[in-house]
Chains A and B, each alone.
Chain A
């Protein structure tokens, strides 16, 4: 039996715009884009040129540091564009997709007899290693370092997040296969929500330890779960995989091909038809949002959720790890004496706005900063949304002071930027905590190499 965890700290941001539980298969996916920039700290080496023909599963680029880790095309077709940025950094690769996807045949070892090394090399070779990330540092896992466990969150607690029970409906066998594969590498831990998770895909998964957690966001963040199940010490490594990506890994072994299909929630107050869409990694956002968003005022299109997602335009593409697209209004006009109005319609964790009298109301949040950046003044605020035994402000200050020893002592190995997203959301002083944490992790990553 796994652990049963209860957290009280945290905050569910109540937004308008959840997706209806209907799955559509969008057409008009004629190009897809793979962006090496989705993989933090990756130095890619490109393997294709414009004009090359690729199949689904053909490597597009690999990691210079770990050349065995390859990144493959999810579709077949012609490479039409290789975009490079400053210093010839590889930014993105665009592929004109065939109508019928042709897959590269994959040789997979039998799970019963395969060694760890064989499985790792199969995953690396076929572009699936990218789905396995590691703590510390929140980057693609180093295949040469054995982890103490592989952690999977069975639910997503972010604002408007997709219901993973629903997203994995019908993909149970593939998910289980994925778990079987991962269990060959390290003990697998799945954490389910006591109320939200109902699917047997998670609750009855074999070859894994099932834990339960109860509480508001960030209970679905795998970092929080690891912290309560088996916290990471200096020198230790834990791997994390998104639930849907486990199914993609499983598919490699059941279908013997790289089939990066996933179900993505189209959410946000500015989307007209909010649904789930079955798409391939790197899908153009246009296919999901064309004629589907409110055009009366400027909107922000986000690949991912409102806390950790990436700003994209209508011509952008779905991020590699993203299960969700969110469209919200851009910030409205300045508000006259806004700081003193009663604020019935304003969402806030604090009770300084009367909106706390309506605890179940959902809000249309826009991108307004709602204030200006200031020094740290208010204390105890981050602690209310940070369910780890870590002092968030002290850790942030250690990072700002570039004090490596203090960062280690204060627990930087246990956190990822996403764990600080709520701190950033509630911050009175509007400090960009996620960027600070990222900076600290990068410093340590360079230091420990």
Chain B
């Protein structure tokens, strides 16, 4: 390691330093050098010792927390694929199929996003911040496995530029960067983000985004449905039963299937269990706010209960409240999206209100608005925008207390 560092410090670094011929690219060099070695900078002003934590550490904890969801997502991509084809496949086979699908999306997401981020850093002479390390992994996990790679590239570019850099980079954005990418695709290419897209097919089985008639006739199992469980509930024909990809009735096991994740959906969102492992890591390390995670689940559950009470013969309203917690992207959103500290509420009380709001709104959109079978993305984006307002009122109440105390003191009535 010493040799590597000597080489970097003595041979490489001078080229990038002031006056070196590659000085323009200093942020790039600095980014890689600090990635390899936690820099030996020392304190100059203020406190003489510092906590061992830095932003790289924090961000890597989030990535570690996402690994269970990622691994299960890769497996499930293959599992759903073979289920749709009516073929028996082992874990290894399903995993390999999924890996071939998912890995390119991750590579494109990181490649494009980091590339643009580096470009901005070079132009603006900033050091490279770690924010995109997490966003770059979140984006693939909230997309369907069959998404064309050019769309991933476009979405990543849109998210980094419009979602983040125009506000001033990491720490300054208003919306969650990864959700900006998804929202962009959702509204720009709606047909790729809803309907039958959730199960991965071979290229020849699809024409554009639609599954070809030939594929339906020849290779897919009878009764095949590629829509998510939430998609089924939003369908006018919903009769209270759930089907899996192969068209079999899974109404009895739907909760456990959804909890373990053997359902179609975005790559990382299906397994509530894997996500909860991630939540555990985030909460134990203190990186993710438990207030937001718990309040989001609570909000969704309470809203689900409320709908159950007033359901009458509306079957969707009657879907048991706890189903809402394991279906769709609620768990993923609550654990990995809503907790993004930059776009979430910042005060502790604000975080609870923010989480409750997201949970309530997500279920509200799911149930009331048939055009959007899934409401988590929109709920989080909405509350990203509302977070400063929530915080404003929380902070204002603190100010009011102080002003009141001041008035009491000056009136001499204390």
Contacts and interface: CB of A to CB of B under 8 A. Distances in A.
Contact of B38 (A15, A236, A334, A348): A334
Interface in B28-64: 34, 36-43, 45-58, 60-61
Interface stretch (A30-38, A119-127, A200-208, A227-235): A227-235
Interface stretch (A65-73, A212-220, A288-296, A363-371): A363-371
B69 to A, nearest CB: 19
Given A371-B53, A380-B289, A428-B53, A352 B61 contact: yes
Interface residues of A, number: 74
A426 B52 CA distance: 8
Interface string B390-414: 0000010011011101100110000
B308 interface: no
Contact of B285 (A333, A350, A409, A429): A350
A222 B49 CA distance: 22
Interface centre among B41, B342, B348 (most CB of A within 10 A): B41
A410 B48 CA distance: 27
A435 B46 contact: yes
Contact of B46 (A13, A343, A424): A424
B127 interface: yes
A225 interface: no
A332 B170 CA distance: 28
Interface stretch (A20-28, A81-89, A300-308): A300-308
Interface centre among B45, B57, B58, B130 (most CB of A within 10 A): B57
Given A331-B41, A374-B129, A409-B399, A306 B286 contact: no
Contacts of A430: 50, 54
Contact of A427 (B42, B51, B342): B51
B51 A426 contact: yes
A326 B49 CA distance: 12
Given A233-B405, A409-B402, A306 B55 contact: no
Nearest to A391: B395
Contacts of A231: 405
Interface in A306-345: 306-309, 311, 326, 328, 330-340, 343
A425 B50 contact: yes
A91 B284 CA distance: 50
B395 A369 contact: no
Given A368-B40, A368-B41, A391-B398, A350 B286 contact: yes
B15 interface: no
A393 interface: yes
Given A352-B287, A370-B52, A421 B47 contact: yes
Interface string A406-449: 00011100000000010011111110111100000000000000
Contacts of B36: 336-337
A184 to B, nearest CB: 23
A352 B42 contact: no
Given A368-B40, A369-B43, A374 B171 contact: yes
Nearest to B350: A379
B49 A13 contact: yes
B49 A365 contact: yes
A328 B402 contact: no
A253 interface: no
B309 interface: no
Contacts of B169: 375
A425 B398 contact: no
A60 to B, nearest CB: 28
Contacts of B41: 331, 368-369, 371-372
B285 A367 contact: no
B60 A339 contact: yes
Nearest to B127: A372
B344 interface: yes
B66 to A, nearest CB: 15
A410 B401 CA distance: 10
A328 to B, nearest CB: 7
Contacts of B401: 389
A382 to B, nearest CB: 10
B14 interface: no
Interface residues of B, number: 59
A379 B50 contact: no
Nearest to A311: B48
B399 A367 contact: no
Interface string A365-404: 1111111101111111001000001110110000000000
Contacts of B310: none
A355 B52 CA distance: 10
Nearest to B409: A233
A198 interface: no
A426 B398 CA distance: 24
Contacts of B5: 333-334, 336
B51 A425 contact: yes
Nearest to B55: A374
B104 interface: no
Given A378-B341, A390-B398, A409-B403, A370 B347 contact: no
Interface in B159-175: 168-172
A340 B61 CA distance: 9
Contact of A348 (B51, B131, B399, B409): B51
B410 to A, nearest CB: 7
B351 interface: yes
Contacts of B47: 306-308, 421, 424-425, 434
A351 interface: yes
Nearest 8 A-B pairs (CB), nearest first? A371-B54, A375-B171, A338-B38, A334-B37, A331-B42, A339-B56, A346-B52, A365-B49
Given A330-B42, A370-B38, A377-B55, 18 more contacts: A306-B49, A311-B48, A333-B40, A338-B37, A349-B51, A351-B286, A352-B285, A368-B42, A368-B50, A372-B127, A380-B289, A391-B395, A391-B398, A393-B346, A409-B402, A424-B50, A429-B171, A432-B45
Interface of B: 1, 4-5, 34, 36-43, 45-58, 60-61, 127, 129-131, 168-172, 284-287, 289, 341-342, 344, 346-348, 351, 395, 398-399, 401-403, 405-406, 409-410
19 contacts: A13-B49, A334-B37, A336-B36, A337-B38, A346-B52, A349-B51, A349-B53, A351-B286, A352-B57, A352-B285, A370-B53, A375-B169, A375-B171, A375-B172, A380-B348, A389-B401, A409-B402, A425-B47, A426-B51
